[in-house]
Amino acid sequence: MPRNILKIMPLLAFFMAAALPGHAESPLTWEDCVREAAVANPELEAARAAIRRSRNQVGASRSDFFPTLTPFVGYNASNSSNFRTSPNPDNPGVDVNFVTRQQLELGINLDQNIFSGFQTKAGYDRSKSQLTETEAAYQVTRADVSLDLKTAFARLLFYQEQSFVVRRIVERRKENVRFVELRFEGGRENMGSVMRNRALLEQAQYDLSQTQRSLRVAQRELAKVLGRRFEDSYENLHVKGGFQTHLPKASPDFNTLVLNHPEHRMAEAQTRTARADLRLAKGDLYPSVDANASVSLDKLNNRGDNALWSAGVNITYPFFTGGRDIYELRGARAEQFRVRENLRETDNQLALRLKQAYADFKNAVEAIRVQENFLKASEVRAEIGRSQYANGLISYQDWDLVENDLINNQRTILESGRDALLAEAAWERAQGRGAIP
């Protein structure tokens, strides 16, 4: 990054923010944006909730190793009637006898799975691999949000400072119009040159309006990444800072970066999940062994308590399920093969993305140095060209080329700084990391 640009950019951002009407919110630094997004971004909040859910699922699957205790209590009341129709001297009619029966039962059941074809262990391993995958997915989300945040910050900073640059261009175009008009009035220039400079002034004014509209979009983009409410107005949202980047001095170890990438860990966790699913499918081909025990206390009407207990072991095996178990086993094997190949493809894609992102980042940083030299040269040429044109030593066409070259280089140096920061954000994302802790 050009040293003179790095020095003036923070000052430009400060004065621009202070000059904007209705400004009430202090400009945010990059560190301010990182802290706010880390706690308020909805994507990060949702990813953290997914981790909490996966951790609870691990605890739920671990409970399958323990017995199930189920207490129970019951109360039943019923009545019965006995009819006697044999007549006798004392009762010549029908004799009806009503009996009320009340029963209270208390007890507890214990159920324990002894063997389920290793499905209990497979289910627990599956939940752990899913937790690993969710944690890696959170790191991917964090890298994505970091990329979005730095991109939004760079764009807003760019449009803030471009507004300042374009205003200067508008003023320079106005001076050029007056300059050429005076020469036209003195008979030393033609009307076509005057008309061209007026058109260039209108172009500069249009560029300023376009920049202001893009600035509003960039403010909304940053507010979205920060997790702020969409109903609010963000015309006073501004940032301050520069386009500083940090290019690694030595070429990184791309193989190590691939193996440490969260997307690699996600794909690796998916292979462990598929392996556990295969064991779960195989478990359906084994018998299930379950133990159960029960203790209860039974009280009937006013008679004494009756203590009961029972215990046993059950072995169940489905001999025929219409071939479902076989098909599920074949499907699990196919899924295991798919995720294993997906891991290979993921690693290849990561290696390519890392190489490309690093090359783009290095190109963007080196391009700044080139543009700095062009800007210096165009500034000197513009000073000389204006003097020569005023003295009639060069034609309007030559002076116009020099002026346009200066203006284009003023734009390009600012774009180069923005592009370098965006390239750094893409390089960080390619590594699966970012500024958000």
Write the CB contacts of 77 (distance below 8 Å, at least 6 apart in sequence). 100, 101, 102, 103
* Residue 6, pLDDT score: 41
Give the pLDDT confidence of 113-140 residue by residue, as tens digits.
887 878 888 888 989 999 999 999 999 9
Question: What average pLDDT score do residues 43-61 get?
Answer: 93
* Residue 436, pLDDT score: 85
Q: Of the segments 1-10, 187-196, 220-229, which one has the largest average pLDDT value?
A: 220-229
Q: Is residue 84 scored above 70 in pLDDT?
A: no
**If pLDDT is split at 50, 70 and 90, which confidence band does 76 have?**
confident
Question: What average pLDDT score do residues 81-107 get?
Answer: 65
CA-to-CA separations, 51 to 38, 42, 63, 127, 201, in angstroms, rounded: 16, 14, 19, 12, 57
Q: Is residue 96 scored above 80 in pLDDT?
A: no
pTM above 0.75, yes or no: yes
Write the CB contacts of 40 (distance below 8 Å, at least 6 apart in sequence). 226, 227, 228
Task: For tokens 């970012």, name the residue.
Answer: 434
Q: Among candidates 219, 256, 189, 172, which has minimal Cα distance to 28?
A: 219
18 vs 351, higher pLDDT: 351
Residues 376, 385, 411, 5, CA torsion sign: positive
Q: Residue 11: what residue type?
A: L
Question: Helices 262-283 & 324-390, crossing angle to 10 degrees?
Answer: 170
Question: What average pLDDT score do residues 144-157 get?
Answer: 94
Q: Is residue 399 scored above 60 in pLDDT?
A: yes
Residue 322 backbone zone (phi > 0: left; psi -120 to 50: alpha; other: beta): left
Q: Is residue 43 scored above 90 in pLDDT?
A: yes
**If pLDDT is split at 50, 70 and 90, which confidence band does 24 have?**
low
Asked whether 293 and 107 are in contact (CB, 8 A), the reply is no
**If pLDDT is split at 50, 70 and 90, which confidence band does 304 have?**
low
Task: For tokens 């800072």, name the residue.
Answer: 241
Rounded CA Rg of the chain: 40
Q: Is residue 168 scored above 70 in pLDDT?
A: yes
* Residue 179, pLDDT score: 87
Give the pLDDT confidence of 195-244 residue by residue, as tens digits.
988 999 999 999 999 999 999 999 999 999 999 988 888 888 999 988 88
95 vs 309, higher pLDDT: 309
Q: What angle do CA 187, 190, 195 make, to 5 degrees?
A: 130
* Residue 19, pLDDT score: 43
* Residue 21, pLDDT score: 42
* Residue 79, pLDDT score: 72
CA-to-CA separations, 1 to 146, 251, 426, in angstroms, rounded: 22, 20, 18
Residues 247, 424: Cα–Cα separation, whole Å: 8
Q: How many helices (H) and strands (E) does the chain have?
A: 9, 4
Buried b / exposed e along 232-251 (16+ C-beta atoms within 10 A): eebeebbbbbbbebeeeeee
Sheet of 305-316, strands arranged across: 68-84, 95-115, 288-300, 305-316
What are residue 28's phi and psi, to 5 degrees? -90, 135
* Residue 347, pLDDT score: 94
Average pLDDT, the chain: 85
